[in-house]
Amino acid sequence: MEMTREKAWDLFSQYVDSESLIKHSLAVEASMIKLAKTFDEDVEKWSCCGLLHDIDFQKYPEQHPIKGPEILKEAGYPEEFCLAVKGHSDDTNTPRTTKMAKTLYAVDQLSSFVVACALVRPTKFEGMKVKSVKKKMKDKAFARAVDRDGLKKGAEELGIELSELTQYVIDGLKEREEELSKMGMSLI
């Protein structure tokens, strides 16, 4: 099957209409796009992977993220793609063997965390510094749903400094936010 963002969006829309999940999915997609460009990988494929990674979360929360890869397989997505989605949660015990799988795991929670940081800044992503994001990581009361050890583990598995990864995520989200705002949408 030809993997296009348009097809991914059609499938995504069949399973997700929750505003918060749409925003989270778009944010993870934005980070995946940025990292695909950085690593010189397939941008369209990584974009689809980011967008679709939580496709089961709204309709099948009890089966997340087992059901998602099944939906994707059914829709014709390749094994490697489905495994990356399955592996984005430690609960499935699925080894992350590809760069795309490792990146998805590393940016999933980190993207949400950076969005949470933007929410409490008047200028949102504009002028956001890695240093201030890392400071917030040390503040246990802030965005407490985000597991800090998971953030470190994700960067480690990917073989990149968490600070460097955070910079890519900030840049990716900022760029995407500018594009989305022209369409009357927002990651925040």
Q: Report residue 154 as tokens.
A: 């994700």
Cβ proximity to Fe ion, 29 vs 54, nearer residue: 54
The Cα 75–Cα 1 span in angstroms is 9
CB 126 to Fe ion: min, Å: 24
Question: Which 8-state DSSP code applies to residue 20?
Answer: H
Cβ proximity to Fe ion, 104 vs 170, nearer residue: 104
Residue 29 is a binding residue for Fe ion (CB under 5 A): no
Residue 108 is a binding residue for Fe ion (CB under 5 A): yes
Total of residues contacting Fe ion (CB under 5 A)? 2
CB 47 to Fe ion: min, Å: 15
Whether 52 contacts 88, CB under 8 Å: no
Selected from 54, 69, 82, 137, the binder of Fe ion by CB under 5 A is: 54
CB 129 to Fe ion: min, Å: 24
Whether 5 contacts 47, CB under 8 Å: yes
Residue 56 is a binding residue for Fe ion (CB under 5 A): no
The Cα 19–Cα 96 span in angstroms is 29
Cβ proximity to Fe ion, 54 vs 177, nearer residue: 54
Long-range contacts of 155-162 (CB under 8 A, 24+ apart): 155/106, 157/96, 157/102, 157/105, 157/106, 158/99, 158/102, 158/103, 158/105, 158/106, 160/106, 162/134
CB 111 to Fe ion: min, Å: 8
Task: Pick the piece of the chain touching Fe ion (CB under 5 A) from 2-10, 37-45, 47-55, 61-69.
Answer: 47-55
Note the Cα 134 to chain centre separation in Å. Answer: 18
Cβ proximity to Fe ion, 115 vs 170, nearer residue: 115
Query: What is the binding site for Fe ion (CB under 5 A)?
Result: 54, 108
